[in-house]
Structure 1
Amino acid sequence: MPFSRIVELQSAEFTSRAAVAGVDLPLEQSEAWDRYDEAVDGRDPYGRYIWQVDGEDRAFLSLTSFKGAGFYYLWAKHGPVWTTIPTAQEEEHFHTDLAKVLKKERKYAFVRLHAHHTSSRLHDLLQSVPFDRTVILDLTMDSEELMASMKKRGRRDVRKSLRNEDLTAQEETANALEIFDELYELLKETGDRDGFGISPKSSYTTMLESLGGEHARVFTVRGKENEIYCWGIVTVNGPLATYYYAASSAEGRRAGAPDLLVWFMSETLRDSGVKTFDLMGIDSERAPQLAGVRGFKTKFSEETTDVDGAWDLPLHRTRYQALKLALKGKRAAVAKVRDFKSSRSGSPDESEATPAKADES
């Protein structure tokens, strides 16, 4: 059996060894993300590790410490990052080695990470909805090739939006904080319309401030009267970009502004050296709650991409089972209150009817 071990590294060496291995680190696995973790209450950078097999670096992992409601856990968002796709046996060995290292600090009940293969050791997330399928645009293609790679409906909608002279797409990263009150109002409208919850405004502004314009870029489409019709926050780390947050008005949707926004962002990102643009999650068997975004995102590509989903790996099984039981009881209590309100009003309580959204923390 090969010899394997987990090795903790300082950030600079972690980054340099990933580069030597030819690994492109997602932003959440990079040193830049530490600034965001440090700026958010209840979160802190925890450590960076590599998994070695017979002395060769095989996987890279950056962990964040999270404080939940009465418990602590570790989160490797978009990690580990493998040098090549792992076998199921390799992942089992990795999970064993990682758990041995992390469970020594009894503070943490579990580690949340991504996995290519399912396993009896891995559990569905306690609360969040993970996605394991997405749409990724290949920005190594030129404009004509990118347009041709879209579905017919996508090409039609983008071309129509490009012909609309009332629409103006632009990057507004430099003044994003100054206009964020307006952006947030649009986000509230979007959440009310599409039935999802949004975070406090400070969550988004903290992200923009801590990551800076190199890693968090803001794009808008404005209408004829200069009103913002839609906007998006895109995170960037080297050749990788992700469509993190978005909002649009009803008027903007009717005018085709979101179609123009995706096209403009793709063109602008490619010009700055980005090679892949992840539209961040569509529905799958594991995440049916994301069905509402499928129609919009999939029209920009003929292909969907399966990605490693997130799972919980218990470090202390008894404590983790207790958390699951406590959460089950809490959900039952909420459902009981909701049913009681519904029976009295004759209609569902809208505040309890909001579906869960994909994990973005």
Structure 2
Amino acid sequence: MTKQDWNQFIIKNNNSFLQSWQWGEFQKSVGRKIWRVERAGVKALVIRQGLPFGKNYLYCPRGPIGSLNEFLKEVKPIAKREKSIFLKIEPDAGFSQNLANFKKSLKEIQPSKTIILDILRPAEEILFHLRPKTRYNIRLAEKKGVRIEEKNNNESLEEFLKLAKMTAKRDRFSLHPKGYYKKMMEVLGEEGIARLYLAKSKNRVIAADLVVFFGQTATYLHGASDYHYRQLMAPYLLKWQEINQAKKLGLKYFDLYGINETKWPGVTRFKKGFLPDGGQGGGKEVVYPGACDLVFNPLWYQAYNLARRIF
């Protein structure tokens, strides 16, 4: 199976960049073992995730694609060889197969709810139907002289990471190590899949996003901003320009990638502002099945969950 054939299958089945050939190569580049499972109309990228004490679990993001039973026939022998504690799957939306042998997981890696915008309509029409506050803030950022640039070099990545550290501290979430993002840009950026967008005010970077382009969808994967310049509303213009870039590339959808009113109320309000106002169509909230674990070693699985609660 070639890279092209693999990706064509993934795209045809409306699946995520997380099942793309390139995402597998990126995972290998950060030291993780991967398998591309193929069997009787089934395809799935499976990633080995390391744990303390030499333990591990297997992870299938936004998969499998096809029969779960056929998928498990391939994965169970892998788990046995690798001495994996469990298999975690986070299926795509619309997955309706029997998960009776799986446990609902307390640990989700991908967001279980998102907003996906339909961006096929003319830009003027999309802008007209945005929530009034969002439309106002886009225009305010333009009026204040905020400029948007796409820059995928090391200097731009450093600017993004500097803002990401500030944002993580402010919003109390953790980041991947610096090397993770560098490898992402090396592997995915080289093929134009991962791109960095910077918002500038008087040549100072005040907001930055990392967006992934795969198939018919652009996905807002990571974002960061300088709180001291919040009155310039740069993230609104940044997102609007990213949507326009996706349109220019002929894409159909823009995934705002993760909402949660309880965990991220501010971010969720911001993202919901890009939904068409008054039920005009052109976007919707999408709910995924969430994370489910198939346990191979109950004792170590119990220890894993206990350690997560403590630490």
TM-score range, shorter chain: 0.7 to 0.9
Matched, 1:139 2:131: no
**Could you say which residue in structure 2 is the equivalent of 1:191?**
168
**Could you say which residue in structure 1 is the equivalent of 2:142?**
162
The residue correspondences of 1:1-361 to structure 2 (distance < 5 A) are: 14-18=6-10, 22-41=12-31, 43-50=32-39, 52=40, 57=41, 59-70=42-53, 71-81=55-65, 93=69, 97=73, 100-105=76-81, 107-115=83-91, 116=95, 119-125=99-105, 127-128=107-108, 130-164=110-144, 166-173=145-152, 175=153, 177-213=154-190, 214-223=192-201, 225-283=202-260, 288-302=262-276, 303-328=284-309, 331=310
Displacement of 1:99 in angstroms is: 5.7
CA contact (8 A) 1:216 1:233 kept: yes
Q: Which structure carries more relative contact order (alpha carbon 8 Å, separation 6+)?
A: 2
Q: Distance in 2 between matches of 1:17 and 1:277?
A: 20
Q: Distance in 1 between matches of 2:289 and 2:227?
A: 34
- Structure 1, unmatched stretches of 5+, are 1-8, 83-89, 335-361
> CA 1:67–1:253 in structure 2 vs 1: closer, same or farther (change >3 Å)?
same
Displacement of 1:77 in angstroms is: 1.4
For 1:183, the aligned partner's letter is F
RMSD (CA atoms): 2.6
Q: Distance in 2 between matches of 1:16 and 1:221?
A: 33
1:290-315 CA deviation, whole Å, 9 max, x = no partner? 33421111000143222342222223
1:192-237 CA deviation, whole Å, 9 max, x = no partner? 22222223322211211121241110001100x2000100001111
> CA 1:290–1:124 in structure 2 vs 1: closer, same or farther (change >3 Å)?
farther
Q: Output the TM-score relative to the length of structure 1.
A: 0.74
Q: Distance in 2 between matches of 1:170 and 1:322?
A: 47
Displacement of 1:76 in angstroms is: 1.2
- Structure 2, unmatched stretches of 5+, are 277-283
CA contact (8 A) 2:199 2:208 kept: yes
For 2:196, the aligned partner's letter is V
Q: Distance in 1 between matches of 2:81 and 2:193?
A: 32
**Could you say which residue in structure 1 is the equivalent of 2:279?**
none
Q: Distance in 1 between matches of 2:257 and 2:5?
A: 29
1:103-138 CA deviation, whole Å, 9 max, x = no partner? 443511111112445845333446455422111121
> CA 1:16–1:218 in structure 2 vs 1: closer, same or farther (change >3 Å)?
closer
CA contact (8 A) 2:90 2:110 kept: no
Q: Distance in 2 between matches of 1:277 and 1:204?
A: 21
Structure (1 or 2) with the larger CA radius of gyration: 1
For 1:215, the aligned partner's letter is I
Displacement of 1:102 in angstroms is: 4.2
CA contact (8 A) 2:212 2:219 kept: yes
SS at match of 1:135: strand
Q: Output the TM-score relative to the length of structure 2.
A: 0.84
CA contact (8 A) 2:115 2:286 kept: yes
CA contact (8 A) 1:26 1:78 kept: yes
